[in-house]
Amino acid sequence: MLLSTIFLTLLPCFAAANPIKIRAGGPTLKPIPPTCTLTNPLPTSDCILTTTTNGLKPASNFRSAHTLYQSYFDLPTSTNELWDQCSQQCYGYGDKDECKSAVLAREVPVPEGYYGGAGGELRVACLLFDGFLAAGDFEGAVEGQWVDVRAGNLHCGT
């Protein structure tokens, strides 16, 4: 009994320290194999995951139709490391090829009702989608929000 009480008391500490890592309800991190590629759908670049864009977000209609999973957290971790974890969660999500795209950004407003909260706080977000993103699926964000955006479509061979 005492051990389970201690575990439940400390669980939020571990979740806060590793927000994208394996946790109840979260997709498993799974390394992306060489048979898969991530292509950048952001409208400002033809490069593959090398350019970040400030002030662009997935359009509301795309998000409402295609969101599989979303997590919001506040950590001073490098964007490169967070992007690796977010894209690996996409690969590890559900059955084969269920997650088609991922977006990572800083200064994203947490939606109202997320874990019962009021929403509005600006956090780092990892969003996973069941559809491929295209340049036209992005829209402008409020000034100072959706910064250091990374996006990728996950394509895996057979």
Q: Does residue 51 lie in a domain region?
A: yes
Please write the tens of the pLDDT for every residue from 109-158.
999 999 899 999 999 999 999 999 999 999 999 999 999 999 999 999 75
Q: Does residue 144 lie in a domain region?
A: yes
Q: Does residue 55 lie in a domain region?
A: yes
Q: Does residue 125 lie in a domain region?
A: yes
Q: Does residue 9 lie in a domain region?
A: no
- Host domain of residue 129: 29-156
Please write the tens of the pLDDT for every residue from 52-88.
567 899 999 999 999 999 999 887 667 788 999 999 9
Q: Does residue 20 lie in a domain region?
A: no
C-alpha torsion 106→139→87→81, nearest 10: -30
Q: Does residue 33 lie in a domain region?
A: yes
Q: How many CA atoms lie within 13 A of 48 on its CB side?
A: 7
Q: Does residue 10 lie in a domain region?
A: no
User: What is the tally of structural domains in the chain?
Assistant: 1
Distances (CA, A) of 116 to 64, 108, 127: 19, 17, 18
Residue 136's DSSP bridge partners are none
